[in-house]
Amino acid sequence: MTIQYAILGYLSWHPFTGYDLKKLFAESDYFYWSGNNNQIYKTLVLLQKEGLVRIREEKQGNYPTRKIYTITEAGLMKLKMWILSEPQLPELRNPFFIRLAWSDLLDAEELSNLLSMYEKELIGQLAMFAEKQRRGIQHPARSKREEFLWKMLAKNWTANRENELAWIRELRYQLSQKWSDNR
Amino acid sequence: MTIQYAILGYLSWHPFTGYDLKKLFAESDYFYWSGNNNQIYKTLVLLQKEGLVRIREEKQGNYPTRKIYTITEAGLMKLKMWILSEPQLPELRNPFFIRLAWSDLLDAEELSNLLSMYEKELIGQLAMFAEKQRRGIQHPARSKREEFLWKMLAKNWTANRENELAWIRELRYQLSQKWSDNR
DNA sequence: ACCGACATGTAAGCTGTTACATGATTCC
DNA sequence: GGAATCATGTAACAGCTTACATGTCGGT
């Protein structure tokens, strides 16, 4: 369960409500999220039971009462301990690999189309990311070092997609060179 | 459900038993797998119900009867249709990002240790992959083109990890330059 | 009159993981 | 004698996703 640490992380930055967290995850490119608040609210209840966060309720007219979550000392410790624990490499699970692995079933044109779709997706995502960065999204920058770390996260993201783009382009180029005869 | 297509893919190469598939997934670096046969056997039953694979049973003395799965015409079609459908980019979900995002909690030495652990993991994996490639793992090569495609899969894998390695090295270098004063 | 933002949550289902269960054979 | 390989599967649970449910307020 990695989401609990992502939440603790955000709360180590600033107190937030579940609704805030939902939006933060939705915006974030580094903390993947599907669009489901179920998990967030459930995890918050769990974190509170374990004394890792504290709730402050804030009534506000006719709106539902906001529950503002604050990280506790124990929560900070738990987060820090997790960060320090043995990091694991990301799993390179790319469904596109499965397609490509068996795409000798396709003829030259079908394969070319497939690769071109993938390339377009990559270009699109890179453009969207660049635009987001240009507009400037919120992220913690309580110290020069923290700012630097988040800059490096962005760099990783971009480098990763650009690496993939370079790869697919080479793939397409070599295919066109070697199998230009449509076989 | 992407595993069904990974299985259909393998069966489009050659008939296999569930046990064979289990080993193939375990060996494979491109088709991620956790080590659970539950899903494989279940999926095979499902594929058979849908008429995408056919079973040939083979009794063999005291061993349990082997069930050899062969792909049907319908299975091949379904696989091909899926391959041709809109490809999706891999989700860049790297739990290490969560650590790094909040690692301003750490002091210089702790952070340095974390990064160094990650770098070591990367180097280790790259070495293992290279060794595997050197030994030569089984993969389909029914045509020059198919061989080429699998070579490109390997290249993607390596490029991806090497890209990550270059990134973490730059990160470490810049940290040591800018915050050599242990703050 | 309707849509999106604010704010909370629940229910149902699918996917994936860990662990269990059986039983013969072969290698060290 | 014990571990690994061959070969099948099941049970229980953890995690994640989709969709539903409720209700106010402000803008077009």
Can you tell me the distance from the alpha carbon of A28 to that of B105, in angstroms, rounded to the nearest whole number? Answer: 20
- Tell me the pLDDT band of A182, cut-offs 50, 70 and 90: low
With an 8 Å Cβ cutoff, are B30 and A178 in contact? no
Separation of CA A173 and C1' D27 in angstroms?
Answer: 51
Q: Quote the longest CA-to-CA distance of chain B.
A: 71
Q: Is B91's CB less than 7 Å from nucleic acid strand C?
A: no
Instruction: Name the H helices within chain B.
Output: 3-13, 18-27, 37-49, 73-84, 95-101, 108-135, 144-178
- Tell me the pLDDT band of B181, cut-offs 50, 70 and 90: low
- Helix, strand, coil % over all residues of chain A, rounded to 5: 65, 5, 30
Among partner residues B9, B103, B149, which is closest to A83 by beta-carbon distance? B103
Q: What is the pLDDT of residue B33?
A: 85
Report the sign of the C-alpha dihedral through residues B110, B111, B115, B118, in that order.
positive
Q: What is the pLDDT of residue A35?
A: 78
Closest-CA residue of chain B to A110: B84
Can you tell me the distance from the alpha carbon of B135 to that of A180, in angstroms, rounded to the nearest whole number? Answer: 32
With an 8 Å Cβ cutoff, are A163 and B167 in contact? no
Q: What is the pLDDT of residue B81?
A: 96
Report the sign of the C-alpha dihedral through residues B102, B124, B94, A133, in that order.
positive
Q: Closest residue to C5 by CA to C1' distance? A: A19
- Determine phi and psi for B67, rounding to 5 degrees: -110, 110
Query: What is the domain partition of chain B in residue ranges?
Result: 3-84, 95-178
Separation of CA B91 and C1' D12 in angstroms?
Answer: 29
Is residue B60 pLDDT above 60, yes or no? Answer: yes
pLDDT tens sequence across A127-161: 999 999 988 878 999 999 999 999 999 999 999 99
Mean pLDDT score of chain A:
93
Can you tell me the distance from the alpha carbon of A114 to that of A111, in angstroms, rounded to the nearest whole number? Answer: 5
**Count of beta carbons in the 10 Å neighbourhood of residue A16:** 21
Can you tell me the distance from the alpha carbon of B148 to that of B129, in angstroms, rounded to the nearest whole number? Answer: 18
Q: Is B36's CB less than 7 Å from nucleic acid strand C?
A: yes
Domain B3-84 has CATH 1.10.645.10: no
Find how far residue A48's CA is from the centre of its chain.
Answer: 25
Nucleotide with the nearest C1' to B58 CA: D7
Separation of CA A79 and C1' C21 in angstroms?
Answer: 39
Structural fold of domain B95-178: Monooxygenase (1.20.1280)
Query: Residue-wise over A66-86: b if at least 16 C-beta within 10 A, else e?
Result: ebbbebbeebbebbbebbbee
Q: Where are the beta strands (DSSP E) in chain A?
A: 53-58, 66-71
Among partner residues B76, B106, B164, which is closest to A83 by beta-carbon distance? B106
With an 8 Å Cβ cutoff, are B164 and A156 in contact? yes
Q: Supply B102's token pair.
A: 């909040």
The continuous run of DSSP H or E covering A159 comes out as helix A144-178
Among partner residues B82, B98, B171, which is closest to A6 by beta-carbon distance? B98
pLDDT tens sequence across A103-119: 999 999 999 999 999 99
From chain B, the residues in CB contact with A178 under 8 A are 144-145, 148
With an 8 Å Cβ cutoff, are B96 and A87 in contact? yes
pLDDT tens sequence across A83-97: 999 999 998 989 999
Is residue A63 pLDDT above 80, yes or no? Answer: no
- Report the DSSP beta bridge partners of residue A54: A70
**Count of beta carbons in the 10 Å neighbourhood of residue A35:** 7
Q: Is B37 on the interface with A (CB under 8 A)?
A: no
pLDDT tens sequence across B114-147: 999 999 999 999 999 999 998 887 899 999 999 9
Count CA atoms closer than 13 A to B125's CA, side-chain side. 20
Residue of A3, A11, A24, A89 for testing the chain B interface, max B β-carbons within 10 Å: A89
Nucleotides of C under 7 A from a protein CB: 6-12, 14-19, 22-25
The minimum CA-CA distance between B55 and chain A, rounded to whole Å, is: 21
Among partner residues A97, A150, A156, which is closest to B30 by beta-carbon distance? A97
Is residue B39 pLDDT above 90, yes or no? Answer: yes
From chain A, the residues in CB contact with B172 under 8 A are none
Comparing C-alpha atoms, which of A28, A62, A21 is closest to residue A45?
Answer: A21
Mode of pairing for the β-strands spanning A66-71 and A53-58: antiparallel
Q: Closest residue to C14 by CA to C1' distance? A: B1
Is residue B160 pLDDT above 60, yes or no? Answer: yes
Q: Residues with Cβ < 8 Å from A152, sequence gap 6 or more?
A: B100, B167, B170, B171, B174
